[in-house]
Structure 1
Amino acid sequence: MTAMATLAETTGTAGPRYTKVAIWLHWLISLAVIANIGLAMLTEGLPRETQRTAMDVHKALGITVLALTVIRIAWRLGHRPPPLPATIRTWQRFLGKVTHFLFYALLILLPLSGWVWMSAAGRPIDFFGLFAIPVIVAPNEGLADVMHDRHEVLGLTMLALAAIHILAAVKHQFVDRTGLIGRMNPF
C-alpha cells in the first residue's frame, strides 16, 4: 500500500489539504452562492414586498461573493493548491482545471453583471443596510435589459456547474474512494 493510500485511509483525505484560509473562503463563497441561487429562484411569485426584501439580500450577498472571490484569487496566487493524487486520470485533471477556471470566471462575472444591471436600472445596491454600493454605469434601460438576461444565464450556468462539481466530489469520495473531499473539509 502506498503512503498516499495509507494517508487517505487514516485521515479521510487524499494527501495534503488546502490551507485553512482557502478552505474557509471556499465554503463561505459556496454557501453564499447557494443562498443566492435559492433567493433568486424561490422568491418568484411571492408578494412584492417579500420579494424586494429577498432581492436586497441577494444583491448584497452577490457583492459579498465578489469581494470574497477577489480575496480567494489573491490568496490562490500566493498559495498553490495541494497536488492531486497520482490516481486521478489526466482527463479528470484537465476537466478539474477547466471547472475551477469557469467557477472563478462566474464568481466574478455573475456579481458584476448584477451590479451593472442594477446600475443601468438606476438602482444602487444597499449593502445589508450599512451603505450603498455606488453605481458603475449610467442609467440605460437597454443595457439594464441585456444585463438582466445575461445575469440569468450566468446564474443558471453557475447552478449547473455547482451541480457537476458536487456530483464529481461525491463520485471521487464514494465511488473512487480518493478522499478528495477531506482536502477541503473545514473541520
Structure 2
Amino acid sequence: MPDRPQGYRVPARMFHWGIALAVLLMIPAGLTMTREGLSRPLQDTLFIFHKNLGVLLFPFILARLAYRLTHPPPPLPDSMPDWQKRIARLSHVLLYTLLILMPLSGFTRVRAGGFPIELLDWLGFGPWIGKSETLAKMAQGLHYAGAMCLIALLTLHVAATLHHALIRKDSVWPGMWPPRG
C-alpha cells in the first residue's frame, strides 16, 4: 500500500500555487518599496502593485481557508514521525494566520495613514478606517513583523518540501504538485 494513496484535490492545489505565486511576488515588492534611495516612480509602482495585489489576494485566501475547512487534506504519510506531523499542522495554522493578518494589517496601515488603495477606491469602497497616525504605526509594525515571520515560515515550508522531495522521497511533494492537463 502506498504511503499516501491520494494527493490534494485539484482546487486545493490551484489555491495553493496561485496564492504562493502572489505571495512570492509581494514579498520582494514589499521589501523593495520601503528602501531608501529608490526612485519615486519605481517606489510608487511597487506600492500600488503591493496594495492592490493584497486586495485581490485576500478573498482568495479566505476562499482557500473555507475550502480547507470543508475539504480536509489527505493524511500525512504513516512513515512520518508524529513530531513532524505536529510541526506540519502547526506551521499550516501559522501560515493561514499570517496570510489573513498580512492583508488586514496592510489595509489598516494604508487607510489609517490616509493613503489610497486604488482598486478599492475605483470600486467605490470607502476608507472604512479614519486617519490615525497611532493606528497606522501600530499596523505598520504588525505588518512588518508578520512579513518577517511569514518569510521565516515560508523558508521552513520550502525546506520541509525539499526534505520530502529529495531525502524522504515520499508522496508529500507529488501530492501538492500543480495539477496537469
Give, in angstroms, the shift of residue 65 of structure 1.
2.3
Number of aligned residues: 177
For the pair 1:121 / 2:110, whether they are aligned, the reply is no
Gaps of at least 5 residues in structure 2 are none
How far, CA to CA, are the matches of 2:147 and 2:110 in structure 1?
A: 15
TM-score by length of 1: 0.89
TM-score by length of 2: 0.91
How far, CA to CA, are the matches of 1:172 and 1:57 in structure 2?
A: 34
Alpha carbons of structure 1 residues 180 and 46: separation in structure 2 relative to 1, 3 Å: same
Give, in angstroms, the shift of residue 179 of structure 1.
2.6
How far, CA to CA, are the matches of 2:162 and 2:138 in structure 1?
A: 36
Residue 153 (structure 2) aligned to one of 139, 156, 161 = 161
How far, CA to CA, are the matches of 2:156 and 2:5 in structure 1?
A: 23
How far, CA to CA, are the matches of 1:118 and 1:152 in structure 2?
A: 13
How far, CA to CA, are the matches of 2:173 and 2:53 in structure 1?
A: 26
Gaps of at least 5 residues in structure 1 are 6-13
How far, CA to CA, are the matches of 1:26 and 1:130 in structure 2?
A: 28
How far, CA to CA, are the matches of 1:25 and 1:169 in structure 2?
A: 17
Matches within 5 A, 1:1-187: 3-4=1-2, 14-43=4-33, 44=35, 45-127=37-119, 131=123, 133-186=125-178, 187=180
Q: Partner amino acid for 2:101?
A: L
Conserved 8 A contact 2:6-2:175:
yes
1:94-152 Cα offsets, whole Å, 9 max, x none, are 00110000010000001100001111011231129953653231110111111111111
User: Runs of at least 4 residues of structure 1 off by over 6 A?
Assistant: none
Query: What is the identity percentage for the equivalent residue pairs of Structure 1 and Structure 2?
Result: 32
SS in 1 for 2:75: coil
1:21-79 Cα offsets, whole Å, 9 max, x none, are 11000011111111100101233232012111111110111122211110001111221
Q: Say what the alpha-carbon RMSD is for the aligned residues.
A: 1.6
Alpha carbons of structure 1 residues 58 and 81: separation in structure 2 relative to 1, 3 Å: same
Conserved 8 A contact 1:65-1:107:
no
